[in-house]
Amino acid sequence: MPRAAGPAWFRINRIQERLLGYVLITPVALLIVALIAYPFLNAIWLSLTEKMVGYPAHFVGLKNYSALYESPRFRIVAWNSVVYTVGSICTKLVIGMVMAVALQKAVRGNQLLRGFLLLPWVIPTVVIALTWRWLLDLYRGLFNVGLHDLGIIGAGIHWLGNPDLAMLSVIMANVWRGFPFFGVSFLAAMQTVPQDLYDAASVDGASAWQQFWRVSLPSIKGVVAIV
C-alpha cells in the first residue's frame, strides 16, 4: 500500500497542477474571446449580410465581396494598403536594425540614449497624430516653415493633400512611431547572443559586417520574423 500511494499521489498532484493552470489562464482566454474572437467572427457574419441600422440583417452570401471586388476604388485602396504596409514595415525594420547595432556596444550614455529613442513608442497615438498633423501643416507646419527659412522652397508644400506626397508623409509618421519597438526588440535579441561567437569570428578575421551577417542576424531571425 505505501508503494502504491506514491504514484497515486503523483498523479493527483499532476492533475491538480493542470487544473490550476486552466483556472489561471481562463480569465485571459475569456478576455481574448470577448475582445478579439467575438468581434472578428461577428465582423465576418456582418460581411455576409445586408444590414441597416434599426432593421434586421438579411443574409446575402458573397454578394458584398463580389461588389467590393468589382469596385475600382477597392483596387486603389488595396494597392495603397500594400504600399503603406510594405513601406512602413521595411523602413522600420532597417532603422530598427541600425538602432540595435548602434546600441549593442556597452558605451557611456547608451542607457540614456535608449530611453530617449523610446519616446515615440510610449507617447499616446493621439498625441503623435496631432503632432504630425501640425508638422505637416501647409501654412504653420514646422517642415514648411523650416524649408522656407532655409530658402529651399518658396511656397508651402501640401504634404497631406498632394497625391505624390501623402503616402510618403503617412509612412514617415508611422515609421517614427514604430521604429523604437523594432529597435528594442532586435537589441534584446542581440544581447542574448553569446559573446564567444563574436570572439571566434574576430579570431577568424571576420569584419564587423561579416559578424553581423553571419552571427547576429542568424541568431535573431526568429525575432525578426515575429516582429
> Same domain, yes or no, for 83 and 57?
no
> Same domain, yes or no, for 102 and 54?
no
Q: Which residue, chain included where needed, has cell 579570431? A: 203
> Same domain, yes or no, for 61 and 127?
no
- The domain of 10 spans 2-65
Mean pLDDT of 196-212: 85
CATH code of the domain covering residue 124: 1.10.3720.10
Residue 202 lies in a domain: no
> Same domain, yes or no, for 175 and 116?
yes
> Same domain, yes or no, for 24 and 105?
no
- DSSP assignment letter at 155: S
> Same domain, yes or no, for 31 and 109?
no
Residue 113 lies in a domain: yes
> Same domain, yes or no, for 157 and 54?
no
In angstroms, the first-to-last Cα distance of the chain is 55
Prediction pTM value? 0.71
User: What's the number of domains the chain is made of?
Assistant: 2
> With the C-alpha atoms ordered 31, 34, 35, 37, is the resulting torsion angle positive or negative?
positive
Over residues 179-198, the pLDDT tens digits come to: 999 998 998 888 888 888 88
Residue 26 and residue 15: Cα distance in Å, rounded? 16
Residue 154, C-beta contacts closer than 8 angstroms, at least 6 positions apart: 148
Residue 18 lies in a domain: yes
> With the C-alpha atoms ordered 120, 126, 131, 133, is the resulting torsion angle positive or negative?
positive
> Same domain, yes or no, for 92 and 178?
yes
Range among 31-35, 82-86, 134-138 with highest mean pLDDT value:
82-86
Grid cell, residue 151, equals 530658402
